């Protein structure tokens, strides 16, 4: 089995390196990852021009490349340039911090997995619920176990997985919750005008991030994670909200 590992935190990030070591025990691992951090890049894909790359050494990987592109670019170039028709599974991560609820719209980690899904390759995004963790081994092992079960599943190219691991010791994790709904992540950022070198800038100052919604429903990824469960959500394209089809037909009288 050929496994592609990518991420949005950069090829040198510890989460990716730990993931490569863990997955090298179940197949041949290849890496194409951004040369630096590309968080919140969403599904930005380069469609024209040149993308720089260079070969790197990553312990446990058969081949590894750093790409001066986005996470989606990394998956796309892996599937169509570096390892064409060779990849059986794409794993994006391990991300520093969770990718839950409305954050899935912005996440570069998830976009790298979604790009594989678009091209009919099984894929999963893997995140750890910590921005300060130094050890990613528990998350990597859990991710490997989940990936092996996912690969055995029927129709596993018709969806991809978003997996969030609580920042707990192995024996403290309560289990798995499969989540079918999301809440809202709220950012209390502040903004100010900056004048520099005769140019105008908006300075964005990050602050508190919090979840808004039901605090008890474990079908919501943020709540399952908060309560100590691994939160797994099957994702797809999901561009059309069928709930409002009849409402829109009524508006336009069609």
In this predicted model, what pLDDT tens digit does every residue of 96-125 receive, in sequence order?
999 998 888 999 999 999 999 999 999 999
User: What is the reported pLDDT for 184?
Assistant: 81
| Position 206 confidence tier, pLDDT thresholds 50, 70, 90 | confident
User: What is the reported pLDDT for 181?
Assistant: 82
Q: Which of 70, 148, 139 is nearest to 111 (CA)?
A: 70
User: What is the reported pLDDT for 243?
Assistant: 85
Q: Of how many residues is the chain composed?
A: 254
More confident residue, 80 or 102: 80
- pLDDT surpassing 80 at residue 208: no
More confident residue, 189 or 194: 194
Query: What's the DSSP call for residue 82?
Result: I
User: What is the reported pLDDT for 183?
Assistant: 78
User: What is the reported pLDDT for 121?
Assistant: 97
Cβ atoms within 10 Å, residue 78: 28
- pLDDT surpassing 90 at residue 86: yes
Mean pLDDT of 166-171: 96
pLDDT digits (tens, 9 = 90+) for 117-168: 999 999 999 999 999 999 999 999 999 999 999 999 999 999 999 999 999 9
Domain chopping of the chain, boundaries: 2-182+215-252
- pLDDT surpassing 80 at residue 239: no
CB-based contacts of 217: which residues, under 8 Å, 6+ apart?
A: 181, 223
Mean pLDDT of 194-200: 95
Q: In CATH, which of 3.40.50.720, 2.30.140.10, 3.40.640.10, 3.40.1210.10 is domain 2-182+215-252?
A: 3.40.1210.10
What is this structure's pTM? Answer: 0.91
- Give yes or no for a cis peptide into 94 (omega within 30° of 0): yes
């Amino acid at each position: 089995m050929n496994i592609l590992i990518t991420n949005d935190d950069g090829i040198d990030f510890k989460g990716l390196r730990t993931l490569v070591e863990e997955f090298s025990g179940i197949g041949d691992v290849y890496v194409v990852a951004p040369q630096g951090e590309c968080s919140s890049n969403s599904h930005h894909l380069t469609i024209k021009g040149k993308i720089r790359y260079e070969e790197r050494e990553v312990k446990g990987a058969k081949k590894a490349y750093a790409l001066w592109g986005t996470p989606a670019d990394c998956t796309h170039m892996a599937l169509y340039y570096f390892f064409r028709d060779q990849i059986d599974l794409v794993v994006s991560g391990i991300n520093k911090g969770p990718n839950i609820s409305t954050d899935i719209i912005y996440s570069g980690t998830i976009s790298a997995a979604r790009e594989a899904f678009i091209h009919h390759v099984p894929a999963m995004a893997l995140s750890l619920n910590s921005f300060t963790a130094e050890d990613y081994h528990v998350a990597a092992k859990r991710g490997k176990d989940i990936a092996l079960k996912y690969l055995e599943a029927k129709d596993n190219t018709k969806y991809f997985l978003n997996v969030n691991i609580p920042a707990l010791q192995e024996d403290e994790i309560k289990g798995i919750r499969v989540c079918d709904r999301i809440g809202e992540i709220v950012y209390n950022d502040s903004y100010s005008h900056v004048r520099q070198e005769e140019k105008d800038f908006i300075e964005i100052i990050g602050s508190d991030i919090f979840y808004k919604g039901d605090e008890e429903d474990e079908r919501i990824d943020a709540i399952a994670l908060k309560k100590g469960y691994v939160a797994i959500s099957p994702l797809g394209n999901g561009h059309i909200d069928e709930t409002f089809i009849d409402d829109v037909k009524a508006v336009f009288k069609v």
